[in-house]
Amino acid sequence: MRWIERTLNSLFPLLLLILLSASNPAFREPYDHVHFLAQTQAFNFTSWTLKALWLKLGQAAIGTPRYFDQASQIKTVQEYLRLVEQIEQVENDIDHLYADPNLKDASAASLEERAQLAELSRRYQTIAPFAEASLETQVNEILKELGLTLGGQTIPWVLYHISPLPQNLVISPRNIIKQETSYLLDPNLTTAQAESLETLVDEKMGVASLVVPIGGIALYPTMVYRSTALEWLSSTVAHEWIHIYLSYQPLGWNYDTSPELRTMNETTASIAGDEIGRKLMERYYPELLHRYDTARQLASRQTGPIGPGTFPPPFNFNREMNKTRIRADELLAAGKIDEAEAYLETRRQIFWARGYNIRKLNQAFFAFYGAYADTPGGAAGADPVGPAVRELRARSATLKDFLDQIGKMNSFDDLKTYLETEPLP
């Protein structure tokens, strides 16, 4: 028997090599196939989490940030925002110099800017942990006020860390808009690399794929994108914490069970995050509170930078995107896949001409963005899930009542049944 075991052990590497070198190895799950194709560009969760936890433990050891008085917390966050704005301006200046065709030596021409960026980055590293801790404390205070606690304490304590976020490879079947799986990639993945990976995945799996940017991830500490927009930042920190809050309940447990439950989760977190972020701004930063145009915010958050200038009033991003999704769904339902994809490319060019820099408009685009249905219209199309979640919030007396009710649900049918059987308030 021992010789059989030794023989099998010696043959195993050879069998593995044959499997990996096969042009079409068999995979039981779509995620396994994506992992096989994209693993060399995968995001390292373990490394990021360990570094972030180490940083947060260091903050807890010195203890100072959480014991700042309210005025000091506000001042720290405001200084952080000013510093980030300066960094982004200098980065843009450097990019401009390197793009200038009239400069023969961009490196020499940008010496002053690069030195300035190095100094700003040094200051950023010093103040960022204190600003994060200050905003964490403020979000926790709002959560306590809203009753989202256990024994008077938020569980878990809000912890987030600003860092470059991984990019998300989203997979949808070509014949229906549905997120089949997704895979997080290295934050430093270039556009050219993203395009190449999408082409490989599409060819090998027969799907529609898209690499998209994301604003946050519900790890612990949660991961959040750097931004000078405090209203967006506070809402995103709260959004990711809500995902953790829901993870202790049936809705969160079943996040990946169906597209409907994913939309219920994301729409709930978006609604709650925006409400919490708004309350935080009203209490601590009323002078920074402003209404931003929904269409421009959606474009900048979801599809990258938008072009310069103003847009003609008749062109409404949300309305046009909603119309596009509905028509694409109709074509796909009729089995007209090629026609649907040609239509989406035509529509992408129309958005591009209006200043919206959408690199690729396909089934994966709508599968990802359509799950964030906290506002009417947009990429969700005629999907009934978002409106149902919004209706439940409208019927709920408080945000806690809303979260407690939807958190108990295991399916979209549960939500529909509740709305049909429970009397209007």
DSSP letter at 312 equals P
pLDDT tens per residue, range 68-81: 788 999 999 999 99
Q: Which residue has the tokens 């700003």?
A: 120
Integer Cα distance of 261 and 140 in angstroms: 27
pLDDT digits (tens, 9 = 90+) for 384-412: 999 999 999 999 999 999 999 999 999 99
The dihedrals phi and psi of 216, each to the nearest 5 degrees, come to: -170, 160
Tokens 């945000």 — which residue? 399
Q: Is 71 helix (H, G, I), strand (E, B) or coil?
A: helix
Strand (E) or helix (H) holding 193: helix 191-205
> Token pair of 227, please?
């931004």
Peptide bond connecting 221 to the previous residue in cis, omega within 30 degrees of 0: yes
Q: What's the pLDDT at 291?
A: 47
Residues 6+ apart with CB under 8 A from 220: 49, 156, 159, 244
CA atoms within a 13 Å half-sphere pointing along the CA-CB vector of 161: 19
Inform me whether the pLDDT recorded for 342 exceeds 90.
yes
Which two structure tokens, joined as six digits, stand for 351?
């958005």
- Binned at pLDDT 50, 70 and 90, residue 62 comes out as low
User: What pLDDT was estimated at residue 243?
Assistant: 96
Look at residue 59 in the predicted model and tell me its pLDDT: 65
Q: Which amino acid type is present at position 306?
A: I
Residues pairing with 162 in the sheet: 224
DSSP bridge partners of 168: 184, 212
Q: Which residue has the higher pLDDT, 66 or 266?
A: 266
C-alpha span between 364 and 55 (Å, rounded): 35
Q: pLDDT, tens digit, for every residue of 140-170?
A: 999 999 999 888 888 888 999 998 899 999 9
167-173, strands of its sheet edge to edge: 181-185, 167-173, 207-212
Mean pLDDT for all residues in the chain: 85
Nearest to 331 by CA among 319, 316, 346: 346
Q: What is the structure's pLDDT at 61?
A: 52
Would you place residue 204 in the very low, low, confident or very high pLDDT band (cuts 50, 70, 90)?
very high
Q: What is the pLDDT of residue 15?
A: 44
The residue-averaged pLDDT of 205-216 equals 94
Is it the case that residue 20 has pLDDT exceeding 50? Answer: no
pLDDT at 313: 54
Measuring CA to CA, how many Å separate 124 from each of 73, 85, 132, 233, 350? 16, 11, 12, 17, 40
Say what the pLDDT of residue 82 is. 94
Quote the percentage of the chain above a pLDDT of 90.
58
Looking at residue 344, its pLDDT comes to: 97
Please give the pLDDT value at position 24. Answer: 54
Burial of residue 161, with CB atoms counted within 10 A of its CB: 0-12 exposed, 13-18 middle, 19 or more buried: buried
Cα–Cα distance measured from residue 75 to residue 218, given in angstroms and rounded to the nearest whole number: 27
